Structures are given as structure tokens and as C-alpha cells.
Amino acid sequence: MLLEGKRLVITGVLTDDSIAWHAARVAQEEGAALVLTGFGRGMRLTRRSAQRLPDPPEVIELDINDPEHLAALTADLDSRWGGVDGALHAIAYAPEDALGGRFLETPAESAATAFVTSAFSYKSLAVALRPLMRAAGGGSLVALDFDNTQAWPAYDWMGVAKAALQAVTRYLARDLGGDRIRVNAVSAGPLSTVAAKSIPGFTRFDEVWAKRAPLAWDTSDPTPVAQMIAVLLSDWAPMTTGEVVHVDGGFHAIAAGAED
């Protein structure tokens, strides 16, 4: 099995539609041992979703912006496993006024909140897990990106935060390579999750994808994304770091579909 013996931390499971839930499912099917993290009022939902996984894992509370939570996570994983082989960062948040087409009116604090929770936080997770991945002799980190090479309707400051996340991926790859820690991102096509539904006009994304992606893209099927996450967390991508791997049905490579 691809992830036999791997000890992985999966953030960002809210419902069983969450990309992270599918990543957790595939990882368990491939032999990994997991810990999930949950956030704030969503903890209850995360615990419920954990019960629907093949082997219900434990859920640890983690507000990615809370240094005490991060320290407690490190301590918990140290006493539980003594080392960690990899993690998924599946965390994003932007205040309402940073989304929805009011790009010119968004206050700096809202744009900064989107940046800190959605991009800077990859660094926070990496630093918290670094000693445990060093103890394991190396590791693999994966984050979830959405296309930010172009401006989208409504995506606004989240698009800017995702561009920052790509840059954070490269700098983490630079600084953690010496510890044999690989740092990558998966750029996923649109998937129907709680986060996606909170973006006004998200259905526009689906329409564009349906016309342009050469492979038929299904917004209700996160499995292809979960499979790529599993590959990057495995030993089968040993010399890949600082990379953004597209799992988007090929959308990024095509300028216009036949009916665009």
C-alpha cells in the first residue's frame, strides 16, 4: 500500500464533502495512520465526519492562528508517535467583505486575515511539525491551492491569498529541504464544499470548467485530488518539492474550450 506505516496529520476536515475528508479516506485505504485536526465551532462536525472514515481517527483542536494550539499539537503528536511523516494543510478563510466582487472596497484588515489564515498558516503548520518530521528522517507537506494565475469573479482577496500560498510553498521548500522535508501544493479544480459554497457566484467556476477542461471535471468528486495528495505524501515523489501540481482536469493548460 502507498502509505503503509505513514503517520499523517490531516487538517481541514469539516464535513464528508471536505477535500480533506476524502484525502483522509484515501490515506487510510492506503495504510496510513491519521490524526485529524478540527477548528472552533466546526469541531463537532469534524468529530462526526471522523466517525464516517473507514477507521475513525482522533480529532485534535487546532486554530491554525493560535500558537498555544500549535504547541499542544506538537506535544500531543510527540507523545503519541514520536515522529510525523507528513501533513495536509486544507485551511482557508476570508472575511465576507474580502470576497464577492468588492475588491476595491475591502479593508486591509480583511485582506490580511485572508492572507494569515490561508497562506501564512502553511508556515505555522510546517514549523509546528518540523521537529517531528526531522525525528522521522524527513517528511512531506501538501497544501491546497486554487488557480490564481487569472482574476476570477468574486474570488478577490482569496485569489491573492492563494498566490501567496504558492510563494509560501516555494520558500518552505527552500528552507526545509535540508531536513528532507518536501513541500508542495495541489491546485484543485472547483469542488462543491462548505468553503466553496461560501464564495458568491461559485457556480460560474463550474460552468467555465465544464467548457474548458479537456477531462470531464466533476465538482462532486474530490477523489482525484485526494489521490494526488496521497502520492505527494508517499515515497513516490521523492524529488518533488516547491511544486504546484494541477488536479483540475487539464483546465490550466487550455486557453478556451470549444464553446467558450
Ligand X SMILES: NC(=O)c1ccc[n+]([C@@H]2O[C@H](COP(=O)([O-])OP(=O)(O)OC[C@H]3O[C@@H](n4cnc5c(N)ncnc54)[C@H](O)[C@@H]3O)[C@@H](O)[C@H]2O)c1
Contacts with ligand X by CB under 6 A lie at: 12-14, 18-20, 39, 42, 62-65, 90-93, 117, 144-146, 188, 190-191, 193-196
The distance of closest approach from Cβ of residue 53 to ligand X in the complex, given in angstroms and rounded to an integer, is 14
Q: How far is the CB of 4 from ligand X (least distance, A)?
A: 26
**Of 162, 171, 197, 211, catalytic:** 162
Q: Which residue, 39 or 139, has its beta carbon nearer to ligand X?
A: 39
Cβ proximity to ligand X: between 3 and 90 the closer is 90
Is 6 catalytic? The answer is no
CB of 91 to ligand X, least distance (A): 4
- Residue of 6, 93, 155, 171 marked active site: 155
Which residue's C-alpha cell is 462532486? 220
Name the β-bridge partners of 236. none
H helix runs in 106-197, sequence order: 108-115, 121-135, 156-176, 194-197
Answer for the pair 239, 181: CB distance below 8 angstroms, yes or no: no
- Told to judge if 162 belongs to the known catalytic residues of this protein, a careful annotator would answer yes
Q: Which is nearer to ligand X, 28 or 39 (CB)?
A: 39
**Angle between helix 223-233 and helix 19-29 axes, rounded to 10 deg:** 60
Centre a 10 Å sphere on the Cβ of residue 201 and count the other Cβ atoms it contains.
13
The secondary structure of residue 118, as a DSSP letter, is I
What residues act catalytically?
Answer: 155, 162
